[in-house]
């Protein structure tokens, strides 16, 4: 069970990093779209 716990912790960390990257990318995209809309 100890090895399984370690694998779960690694998987959770990887998913958290992926989620953060997706969120920051989405916010950056939204901000760029807003700036483009304001220019027009």
Q: For the chain, what is the mean pLDDT? A: 89
Q: Is the pLDDT of residue 28 over 60?
A: yes
**23/35 Cα distance (integer angstroms):** 18
Task: Give mean pLDDT, residues 5-20.
Answer: 96
The length of the chain in residues reads 40
Q: What is the pLDDT of residue 19?
A: 96
Q: Is the pLDDT of residue 31 over 90?
A: no
Q: Is the pLDDT of residue 23 over 90?
A: yes
Residue 28 sits at the vertex; the CA angle it makes with 24 and 29, to the nearest 5 degrees, is: 120
CB burial string 8-27: b at 16+ within 10 A, e below: eeeeeeeeeeeeeeeeeeee
Task: Give mean pLDDT, residues 20-34.
Answer: 90
């Amino acid at each position: 069970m100890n090895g399984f716990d370690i694998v779960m912790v690694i998987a959770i960390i990887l998913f958290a990093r992926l989620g953060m990257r997706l969120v920051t990318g989405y916010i950056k995209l939204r901000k760029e779209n807003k700036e483009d809309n304001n220019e027009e």
